[in-house]
A and B are shown apart, each in its own frame.
Chain A
């Protein structure tokens, strides 16, 4: 129950689609989605494989709660070896695609090999086939999604696809479903493109069942009440979205600005949630409405519309409609990281990121690095095709977004990500990344725990692996001081394990502003066999974390890769509450290894592996 008990294995080289029973023994140990997908991947591929070679696999996995009416239960994840990082990648997306996979009768889909020519998978209630995608290759996510629905004469199909960026191997290309929800990070879209897989189109009408309906419905109702009553999930997120953070994080001096040279952005207010809601000269506001993913009772999603007279859209009606608006991470990367304070330019760049399937975090951060290289003369306008890459120039931002989305011109260089780009121009130290993946929107000098979070994240720098911002800034579940290192090792470990469990369940991590695992366990237990308790979920989370770590070590990563760029460790923050501070990773990391039950070299000890049945 809750699990369908079935997976679809698609051999792209042979063109075959086969059903397989789900390994229920693994489901009991890894739950679903992130955990279970990682287990399958780790069992099936050589961790040393080139991420873009046919030997890599790409797994789309739902969790057991996906497709039920538990709040936010529409999530799915893409698990593969990341194109950007060479590490384990697991990118989580909302929208409506995950539910459709479940209703089509599958817990996950495993893609292996490489198709001889572009194809897409069409799956309708257990009937799966690979279809020639020649007519869609070279098209954007938006055109592909519309085109597939039109071709099958079915507006109810749900599509996840790559844009031109994924086809061209932009290393931070993502997979976009439902027009603007994305499995965003680590370059999962580049892996999909390397397989000649343009899209996955799903239609499911089979229904999702739960184990104990009465217990499940009671736990779900209680969970929804808690979300509605909580100030963050009940008021802040629906009203302002994640963008509620822009001014807050700027105030605490942790808004990385211009490639982390500064940690406060003078234009923060102009690109904030408040600015999105404010009336423009045209009498409308950037924000049209909020929107929910499947089954979500929070509804933090933004729907935005650009001023029709703005230079980005004045001649282009296609972009004058309402579409996916700025979330905090995207607004930060496209704005503060590049020094651009033009809200509509950022919104346009965000539309294009969705349209062509590129991760706005890695893109904006890489562009910020390129702007610094340009400023010091390492990159010239000869390299950029005549475009001046000046910090703060909205046209540099929007033109480069379009070029990168199509993998053209200097966009192809930006598409390498900041690590490879900065190496190419002889300044590797200017890449603000861990394990090749760019930082998101929190400066580790002003929020110390995030330094440890980034350094130890299994998929490279990421806020979603342990969002200690929640504790250090927002005070959830308890307030800790963002400027100190004491207690942060334990905090990071606790967040990492709990988040890994949540990411394996089929629900959104944003619920954890209001829920603890005590709220989640009864919902999972009501839906699934296996006596799911808080303790068991924490064990699953820790097991998943260690499995990911093992995969990375086998791929060639060591403790040396649990490292931050020198800028965060040596150059103190210049302004704000963290003025004079660097991130003190060295104080936290040994304690973290110890708490994890790892050796001083960051290797999981035999005892730890045995305890977790790994």
Chain B
């Protein structure tokens, strides 16, 4: 089954455990600045929003890469950067409409979410289920269930 990272900002408390988990898994240190997922704090609205690559099917980053350093992981659907091929030209960072591919000056390569090979650390670390890893075809299931529960069905049929 194809899975997808699903983000529900309403549940996010802004604790950054996702950033810590991401940086630790990828870099071996706790370092939010090296995280592939980023939590934004819209202070005046009291909103926290985690944001990362949605692994879009169009994959502009992949198409833009001049050295074919970005490929599709067939198991997960993730668009994965090969460090050995990446030349740090940053064209992918321009191509991505969402800004979720970023250059890492200390390595000279770009960073993006690779879904941790199918077991995303951010989702496991999230204490409030604001980030989950769910069936890619049913990312709306929980929200549908919530609204379904609120639906007034009128008088119930008797059996």
Instruction: Note whether A and B form a binding pair.
Output: yes
Residues of A within 8 A of B (CB): 67-69, 96, 99, 103, 156, 179, 204-210, 213, 224, 228, 238, 288-297, 299, 301, 303, 305, 321-323
> B43-51, B93-101, B133-141, B148-156: which one contacts chain A?
B43-51
Q: How many contacts A-B (CB < 8 Å)?
A: 80
Task: Determine whether B27 belongs to the interface, using a CB cutoff of 8 Å to chain A.
Answer: yes
Selected contact of B45 from candidates A67, A301, A322, CB within 8 Å: A322
Selected contact of A69 from candidates B24, B47, B128, CB within 8 Å: B24
Task: Determine whether B131 belongs to the interface, using a CB cutoff of 8 Å to chain A.
Answer: no
Task: Determine whether B21 belongs to the interface, using a CB cutoff of 8 Å to chain A.
Answer: yes
Known: A295-B20, A321-B45. A205 touches B33 (CB 8 A): yes
In angstroms, Cα B47 to Cα A323, docked, is: 11
Q: Which residues of A contact B21 (CB under 8 A)?
A: 69
A179 touches B43 (CB 8 A): yes
B43 touches A207 (CB 8 A): no
The size class of the interface chain B forms with chain A is 20 to 34
| Chain B 43-84 interface mask (CB, 8 Å, partner A; 1/0) | 111111000000000000000000000000000000000000
A69 touches B17 (CB 8 A): yes
CB distance from B102 to the nearest CB of A (A): 12
CB distance from A521 to the nearest CB of B (A): 20
In angstroms, Cα B45 to Cα A291, docked, is: 12
* Given A96-B16, A291-B46, 5 more pairs with CB closer than 8 A: A205-B34, A207-B31, A208-B30, A209-B30, A210-B30
In angstroms, Cα B14 to Cα A292, docked, is: 6
B15 touches A294 (CB 8 A): yes
| Chain B 6-19 interface mask (CB, 8 Å, partner A; 1/0) | 00000001111100
B46 touches A295 (CB 8 A): no
Task: Determine whether B23 belongs to the interface, using a CB cutoff of 8 Å to chain A.
Answer: yes
Known: A228-B127, A295-B16, A297-B17. A289 touches B32 (CB 8 A): no
A299 touches B46 (CB 8 A): no
Most buried by A among B21, B28, B44: B44
| Chain A residue, CB-CB nearest to B48 | A291
In angstroms, Cα B156 to Cα A241, docked, is: 40
Known: A207-B34, A208-B29. A293 touches B15 (CB 8 A): yes
Selected contact of B30 from candidates A207, A292, A323, CB within 8 Å: A207
Known: A294-B16, A321-B44, A322-B46. A205 touches B125 (CB 8 A): no
A290 touches B30 (CB 8 A): no
